[in-house]
Amino acid sequence: MPEMTYRDAINLALKEEMRRDPSIVVLGEDVALYEGSFKVTRGLLAEFGEERVKDTPISENTIIGVSVGAAMGGLRPVAELMTVNFALLAMDQIVNHMAKIRSMFGGQTYLPITVRAPGGGGSQLAAQHSQSLETYFMHCPGIYVAMPATPADAKGLLKSCIRDNNPVMFLEHELLYNSKGEVPEDPEFLVPLGKAAVMREGKDLTIVAYSRMSVLALQAAAELEKDGISCEVVDLRTLNPLDTETFIASARRTGRAVVVEECWRTAGLGSDIAFRIHEACFDTLLAPVRRVSGLDVPMPYSRKLEKLCIPQVETITAAVKEVLSEKY
């Protein structure tokens, strides 16, 4: 399998799907002539033309609204929001229209919309451009949420999202774009929605994570192995549908768990996962589940302060060692 960046894997997925299905259109700010703020849509305009690759006005509400109408009219739009932070300007269309129309119409129409949006912290983009907003979308029934951690999953999962008849928020961490990994060349390579991956097997403790935090969890597990600690790393891949079965089975085997998330701790996904583990594994847990989360503060611009606000490899390893020292 060839090695490619996360960015190029997404680009390849878009090209393969657009070649396969002429109903797929790409729209967003600067996705055509400029080829995307992060160059993910590179080469699309040249290959597919301006009828299928559209630059839009600077209006996120319009981008999603047009996508909703296009999907109801028979197209499969892939909308790009320049960053997930700007999705806040489109929440009415996302929450009140995109998520609800299929249910409100009694299933008489489908909304095969994929909304791509980069986000996350660590790039010194400060408070308004460094947010992890996945729990906003998870809280709303009717929307799938996908957050791949590896180039292969980015390709396979995006293709599955585009082919699905439900609206999906496909969230990409900005610090993963240059990460590299092997990616299958098969144009029919798909990663199913709602299926987590065990990225590393272990016997002492389970680390549950997603997106960039799964990459850091793997690094933490490698460091802990030097101390004789064997960690299993479960990458959620999709947050809705959530593959509860895989991380519950892992926590049952190991008896201990740490949940890692970049989003804010209050009302974060980690609390939901920790509760599910407690609820299903109470009789087999050897220690309380520990959460490692982003701090409940607006993201500072200072690199040193920003680093303190986001989980790091060291904070994950420290949490693992604390859980291993505890018992009920």
Active site residues: 60, 129
Closest by CA position to 204, among listed 188, 220, 192, 191: 220
Q: What are phi and psi of 84, to 5 degrees?
A: -65, -25
Q: What are phi and psi of 94, to 5 degrees?
A: -70, -50
How many CA atoms lie within 13 Å of 34's alpha carbon, on the beta-carbon side?
Answer: 11
Q: Is the CA virtual torsion 310, 10, 54, 113 positive or negative? A: negative
H helix and E strand count, the chain: 12, 14
Q: How far is CA 132 from CA 85, 299, 301, in A?
A: 8, 10, 16
| Rounded distance between C-alpha atoms, residue 105 and residue 127, angstroms | 38
- Is residue 263 within 8 Å of residue 147, measured between CB atoms? no
Edge-to-edge strand list for the sheet holding 114-119? 53-55, 24-28, 76-80, 114-119, 168-173, 144-146, 238-240
- Residue 43 is classified by DSSP as T
